Copies of this chain bind each other. A is one copy, B any other.
Amino acid sequence: MEARAGRRAPQPKDDGRDLREVILAATRGLLDERRFDELSVADILAAAQVARGSFYFYFASKHEVLAELVRRAIARGHEVAQPWLTHDEPDQRRASVRHGISHGARLWREEAPVLRAIVENWRTDPELTALWRDQMAGFTAATTERITTDDATAPGVDPAALGAALTWLGERLYYLAALDVAPFADEDTLVEVLTHIWMTSLYGESAR
């Protein structure tokens, strides 16, 4: 119906809430305690104190709510991605890589419920699939850029493939940490292992 496209700015309700934001906040809150696939639209309606019609006025499905939550979490993540692009002197590489990895860990700590949900559900919806794959492609491009700029890695290894592998490795380990899976639930261990793999596979530096 494209109801959203031509609509005016939402007029505040009695209590001044913007229903679209209320729905997003309520869904986010529910994700703190339950998996996305366990949530029904009815659960969201109850949590947000909103009528069914209002929900479908703003969102075509609960997947679209998740998409918006993810876009916002990702927007916060862009600040994090920035340092990865900078070029460093060899003796600062380890600190720089470690710094980026720690930033990733912090983002995942703060946005865990939403990121957990997208990682678990991106395959169930075309829009979510495109969203997450684009996001990973962006990180891959940044990592690959870093590899080629530093002229790192061994001959015979495709820089783009290595960049993609390190990106998806991060996705997986941060996700497992968010699930409290040992040994990654301990953030120091997680950062240490990720840094080790990045440094050795990129620069061949096994020394601490």
Contact = CB atoms under 8 A, between A and B. Distances in A.
A157 B120 CA distance: 29
Contacts of A123: 35, 120
A19 interface: no
Nearest to A157: B196
Interface in A28-52: 35, 37
Interface stretch (A58-66, A77-85, A159-167): A159-167
A176 B122 CA distance: 13
Interface stretch (A7-15, A107-115, A200-208): A200-208
A196 B154 contact: yes
A130 interface: no
Contacts of A154: 196, 200, 206-208
Nearest to A166: B197
B120 A181 contact: no
Contact of A176 (B35, B37, B120, B168): B168
Given A157-B196, A168-B173, A200-B204, 5 more contacts: A162-B196, A165-B193, A168-B176, A169-B169, A197-B201
Rank and list the top 4 A-B pairs by shortest CB-CB distance, nearest first. Answer: A204-B206, A200-B200, A161-B183, A161-B193
